[in-house]
A and B are shown apart, each in its own frame.
Chain A
Amino acid sequence: MIGKIFRNNLTSAILVIILILLAIVFYAAQIGHMEGPVLLQHLVNGISLGSLFALIAIGYTMVYTILSMINFAHSDIFMISLYFAFFSITVFNMPWVLALICVAAATPLVGLLIERLAYRPLRGAPKNSVLISAIGASFLLENAATYLFGGRPKAFPDIPALTRVISVGSVNFQVVSIVIPIITAAILVILINFIHHAKTGVAMRAVAKDYEIARVMGVNVNGIISLTFIIGSVLAAVGGFMWGAKYPGVTPMMGVMPGLKCFVAAVVGGIGDINGAVIGGFILGLGEVLIVALFPGISGYRDAFAFVVLIVILLVRPSGILGSPVAEKV
């Protein structure tokens, strides 16, 4: 019921959720005697983390919509993009904008490769086989990265243009914390427009519904699936780059936790729905940052927050905030 109202109006949904969160935050801040500027700072951080989660969660949800499978390797595509960023800046001395473009161009190749080698041969196979294949691809990427780049964390190069701290009044934040939500919003506008208005975007939704009939109508289904992986990887790459700028430190296993959280975000929002992935991403990102800020005593449990939300949502609304219950026809 609530989902219906939300589905029809993304902006109102986001607004309502943000308002609820704000109300909780201000109430808690009153109790905890937190000062306004400090709170604002945490909000900025929460929104930027939420944007990053949203970017990655979209990749999960898009692949799920088209192939009804969870692309477990997505988190490792994110990780690979961070290595790409690391090398393009440190080894090839690229300026950061150029590096961002290169990373966004190179990462999809990995996504495509995985689709070709690990998923396409299994088209028509039982879903569990594809799932196992996805887990295998994920382990392969993690171990390949460990083998190639070493397990020791690499320091993500400092990008002064992004890490510079600016102050507005008595609020201090890094440029990157503002850049992330702006880039995310821009990408979202483009993506949603593409999916709803471009011919290929319409075809993408058609394939998601019934790929066989889409094929009969002349849609190149394999091409659409590849495109889905490309879009997901580009988003993960942009997210990865920004992640590196904000939280420096690159390791082969670093994709696991953000990946899991973003998968949770996609499920919480309602898997199969891009708007849901965005809402889920913001709930988890804002929630995680604010809980730590408001209750420093339990900051050790910050990673648990996403999973608590997941459990609650699964109990209350198993199909997620925007998801509609799946009716299996017999």
Chain B
Amino acid sequence: MLNIEKLTVKYGGITALDSISFNVPEKRIVTLIGANGAGKSTTLRAIAALTKPSGGSVRYQGEDILGLDAQKVVAKGISLVPEGRRVFANLTVMENLRIGAYLRKDEEGIKKDRKWMFEMFPILEKRSWQPAGTLSGGEQQMLAVARALMSRPKLLMMDEPSLGLAPLVVKSIFEIIREINRNGVTILLIEQNANLALKTADIGYVLETGKITLSGAGTELLDDSHVKAAYLGAAKK
């Protein structure tokens, strides 16, 4: 569904992404793990057209989407759950969802999807008239996910959804990721929590200082000694 070829991003003189290539097959969960500053967020930003890459290609359903405007990328069915949630704190929960569905015209479909969101995140329905800024961190994360889903994406990109959340909340977020995936949405997940991410994902890639150093099935990477040492906290032998 999404094919990244030799994607390179430079910030000034610094190469943040050095010719990385990976694939996101349809209906799968793909995760990119890596340490701080490895270039994970940059990858998502480049796909979402928030950062201009200096080279490479991003093909989505066979079509080159690199160089498209961010608006066009959403319209094609790619949606982003940004790092740090970034809900519109001054808008109510309802209004946040409305902005999520900004490009859609099918009022009926929007209503149906909103209902789906409220089934998946009952707390959001309770808080629907509250400004998003008054929500707790976990609730904001749920809102960020719901907002992204309101555009009815085919590909959902999530940037560190577990960041700064309590372990229990993290667990429920990951359950929701699986549920969204079961509903036919392809997921590209970026995580520092390598353990949970690899357990959830079908395919994993390890990103280190702007390069992909390892790839494989999620469970395979979980057993990899390098991954274990670097990301899962196991002692090196």
Chain A residues at the B interface, C-beta cutoff of 8 Å: 199, 202-203, 205-206, 208-210, 212-220
Task: Return chain A residues, CB-CB under 8 Å to B116.
Answer: none
Residues on B with beta carbons closer than 8 Å to the beta carbon of A214: 88, 99
Q: Do B74 and A217 have beta carbons less than 8 Å apart? A: yes
| A to B contact number (C-beta, < 8 Å) | 55
How far in angstroms is the closest Cβ of chain A from B108?
A: 16
Assess whether A203 is in contact with B70, with CB atoms less than 8 Å apart.
no
Contact present for B99 and A206 (CB under 8 Å): yes
Q: Is the CB of A215 within 8 A of B70?
A: yes
In the bound complex, CA of A218 to CA of B49 (Å): 12
CB distance from B79 to the nearest CB of A (A): 8
Encode B86-104 as 1/0 by CB contact (under 8 A) with A. Answer: 1011110001001110110
B48 contacts the other chain (CB 8 A) = yes
Interface size class of B (residues with CB under 8 A): 20 to 34
Cβ contacts under 8 Å, A219 to chain B: 71, 99, 102
**What residues of chain A lie closer than 8 Å to B90, measured between beta carbons?**
205, 208-209
Q: How far is the CB of A87 from chain B (nearest CB, A)?
A: 40
Separation of A218 and B88 alpha carbons in the complex (Å): 14
9 A-B residue contacts at CB 8 Å? A205-B95, A206-B99, A208-B90, A209-B88, A216-B48, A216-B80, A217-B102, A218-B74, A218-B75
Query: Contacts A209-B90, A216-B50: A199 and B98 contacting too (C-beta < 8 A)?
Result: yes
Cα–Cα distance between A22 and B212 once the two chains are bound (Å): 71
Q: Which residue of A has the minimal Cβ distance to B102?
A: A218
A203 engages B99 (CB within 8 Å): yes
Task: Write out the residue numbers on chain A whose beta carbons fall within 8 Å of the beta carbon of B100.
Answer: 217
- In Å, the complex CA distance between A215 and B51 comes to 12
Contacts of B210 in A (CB 8 A): none
**How long is the Cα–Cα vector from A219 to B82 in the complex, in angstroms?**
16
Cα–Cα, bound, A219→B75 (Å) = 11
Name the distance in Å between B88's Cβ and chain A's nearest Cβ: 5
